[in-house]
Chain A
Amino acid sequence: MTNIEIGLWSFPVLLAIIFLRIPIGLAMLAVGFGGTYIVNGSTLMTMGQLKHLVFGTFSNYSLSIIPLFLLMGQFATLSGMSAGLFKAAEAWLGHRKGGVAMSAIGACAGFGAICGSSLATAATMGQVALPELRRYGYSGPLATGALAAGGTLGILIPPSVILVIYAILTEQNIAKLFAAAFIPGILAAIGYMITIAIYVRIVPESGGVLERKPYGERFRALIAVWPVIVIFLMVVGGIYLGIFTPTEAAAVGAAGTGIVALISRGLTWKKTGEAILTTASSTAMIFLIVLGAGLFNSFLALTQLPQTSAQWVSEQGYSPWFVLTVVLLLYLVFGCVMDSLSMVLLTVPIFFPIMSALDFGLTPTEFGLWFGILVLIVVEVGLITPPVGMNLFVINSMAKDIPISQTFKGTFPFVLADLVRVVLLTMFPALTLGLVWLIY
């Protein structure tokens, strides 16, 4: 076998191990280790690397943003801000047809602005919004579908852990990536609300409405969520304006949400301990995957597969748009069964060199930002597509009376909304890049 063949074979082997339910990070470590052994005929290289690679990965300044954002999300959950957000959204949207579900989306978008993870957003907003949705007679599919989709706003709206990883892998500026993600994130929220409006017209019995609130009450409810606005402006605004580095912004955001949680008495000793344990578990999970991907990608580089495949694709003379479509479809297919973080870590080192060699009429920086947002959206669709969609499971576990098949059904229109958005953003890069051009 040539080295290239070894590299190609490693993918089916890795997927087989992952589908056996071996932890993903561990599977990547094992295949990276084994693959390097096959190429070199000895473990010398990997064993030497491991002396410093683990410590180096864990103590990387850029990556230190991840535990900080995760802790921030935990504090946000304890702060009670989620209930305020939902109330404010209800005051503005609740009287429309399907308004309570739209409010849940609006609240998810607000929570996404202070939380960098989809699962935490889905779990937190699910706790607040699901009982309300059921109370107003929303059907099981619509209630759980809307919340599962709304949860993805946690990642689509900056700050976002996946974008941090993408930025590090492709050496993009995190602040610019967050700016690029902003309009697509808002579009996602609007798209989900339109989806709900259409849904309740087709299935009229699926949800009730609240009475229209006077504007005084609406603004009072909006003002009540000022901590969310302040924290978002501090974190994302602070990064845009160049007051601090993204890692510092995450620390400031964690401090801000922690203080709000403390004042609202959500931060008892017991709750703080639980928040730390949840952060610990998710952080360790992410870093095991990052470590595994590090070893796996170093093995792939050794086989020269990334360069060779980039060269091969450019020699075929395919249209750039055709290649982009194929790549995005591949993400959608794999997203049905894979987790989004490991998909990004595994595929971006291969796809990015291939894609950036093609001409889309954009500068290298513009292309890097635009492609990053497209990848972000397609991997996030994976969170709400069966059979493996983490957000579906999180929300469904909160609604014991709704079978998972009903949740799958309810999510389908939202997946369609995602696909429409991907097509729009692919066709009009200005939607992604406009804000970046404006700010920088």
Chain B
Amino acid sequence: MYRHIDNSIGWLAKAMALLGGTVLIALIAMTCISIIGRTLVPLGLSPVKGDFEWMELGVGFAIFSFLPWAQYARGHARVDLFTPAFGKTMNRMIDLIADLMMFAASSIIAWRLWLGMLDKKSYTETTFILQFPTWIAYAAGLLGAVAFVIVSAFCILRSARNLRGSTSDQY
């Protein structure tokens, strides 16, 4: 049962990260096309309209969708200066606390982003150049933010099991 959950969560985190990466690659292509267009204005070409805005919106989406994978793959920077001194149980306890904190943080981030999205929607706010509705960009970010909450919740389970000694994939 746990293996099955682990695999599904891992798949979700990976899929979100790959989706974000695909957007990043698309933005790279867009930027190259825009630069070519800008250079060849005399030949009648033109830069991509709102290229800077696409970059901002796209990278914003990508980073939200990278968060679940970093949490699942334990990718966040930590200082493990005292790890050897703490001992096995203490370290697993710290892992659990860190995962609980990350769950709290991810939940608050997703919840506030949701409220921010509702604000932007009710204000009918748009971007400068593209006149792209800001709330849609928030909603896209929410996709990654919610996946981040789900993955963070799973990570609590994972460290709780480690603490009980059910698995031994760390230390």
Contact = CB atoms under 8 A, between A and B. Distances in A.
Check if A and B associate: yes
A93 B24 CA distance: 39
A403 to B, nearest CB: 14
Contact of B113 (A22, A55, A60, A258): A55
Contacts of A23: 76-78, 98, 102
A101 to B, nearest CB: 29
Contacts of A11: none
A252 interface: yes
A48 B108 CA distance: 11
Given A50-B108, A273-B18, A67 B62 contact: yes
Interface residues of B, number: 59
Interface string A1-21: 000000000000000001111
Interface stretch (A109-117, A277-285, A320-328): A277-285
Nearest to A281: B75
B138 A55 contact: yes
Interface string B144-156: 0100000000000
B156 to A, nearest CB: 14
Contact of B105 (A26, A243, A258, A273): A26
Q: Which of A29, A63, A67, A287 has the most B CB atoms < 10 Å from its CB?
A: A67
Interface in A393-436: none
B142 to A, nearest CB: 10
Contacts of A47: 108, 112
Interface residues of A, number: 55
A255 B28 contact: yes
A377 B3 CA distance: 45
A424 B91 CA distance: 43
Contacts of A243: 35
A30 interface: yes
B12 interface: no
A54 B113 contact: yes
Contacts of B22: 276
Contact of A21 (B17, B20, B94, B112): B94
A50 B28 CA distance: 29
Q: For A59, A67, A243, A288, which residue has the most chain B Cβ atoms within 10 angstroms?
A: A59
A280 B70 contact: yes
Interface stretch (A135-143, A195-203, A222-230, A337-345): A337-345
A60 B98 contact: no
A19 B55 CA distance: 36
B21 A251 contact: no
Interface string B53-68: 0011101101111110
Given A64-B56, A280-B70, A289 B141 contact: no
Nearest to A48: B112
Contacts of B94: 20-22
A59 B108 contact: no
A59 B56 contact: yes
Main secondary structure of the interface of B (DSSP, over half): helix
Nearest to B75: A281
Contacts of A279: 21, 24, 66
A342 B17 contact: no
A240 B54 CA distance: 24
A341 B77 CA distance: 10
Interface in A13-51: 18-26, 29-30, 47, 50-51
A387 interface: yes
Interface in A141-161: none
Interface in A352-410: 387-388
B45 interface: no
B81 interface: yes
Given A20-B94, A255-B32, A387-B81, A67 B24 contact: yes
A248 B35 contact: yes
A277 B112 contact: no
B76 A60 contact: no
Contacts of A244: 35
Given A64-B59, A67-B62, A71-B24, A342 B82 contact: no
A289 B55 CA distance: 21
B123 to A, nearest CB: 12
A52 B27 CA distance: 23
Contacts of A282: 75
Contacts of B109: 50, 54
A173 to B, nearest CB: 17
Interface string A265-298: 0000000010011011111110111000000000
A24 B76 contact: yes
Given A55-B138, A289-B77, 5 more contacts: A19-B81, A22-B78, A54-B109, A251-B31, A280-B21
Interface of B: 14, 17-18, 20-22, 24-25, 27-29, 31-32, 34-35, 52, 55-57, 59-60, 62-67, 69-71, 73, 75-83, 86, 91, 94, 97-98, 101-102, 105, 108-109, 112-113, 115-116, 119, 137-138, 141, 145
Of all A-B residue pairs in the complex, the 8 with the closest CB atoms, nearest first, are A59-B60, A276-B21, A284-B70, A281-B75, A23-B76, A51-B116, A251-B31, A280-B17
25 contacts: A20-B82, A22-B94, A26-B105, A51-B112, A51-B113, A54-B113, A55-B138, A67-B62, A67-B66, A68-B27, A71-B28, A247-B55, A248-B31, A248-B34, A251-B32, A255-B28, A255-B32, A258-B28, A277-B18, A279-B21, A279-B66, A280-B70, A283-B70, A287-B63, A388-B81
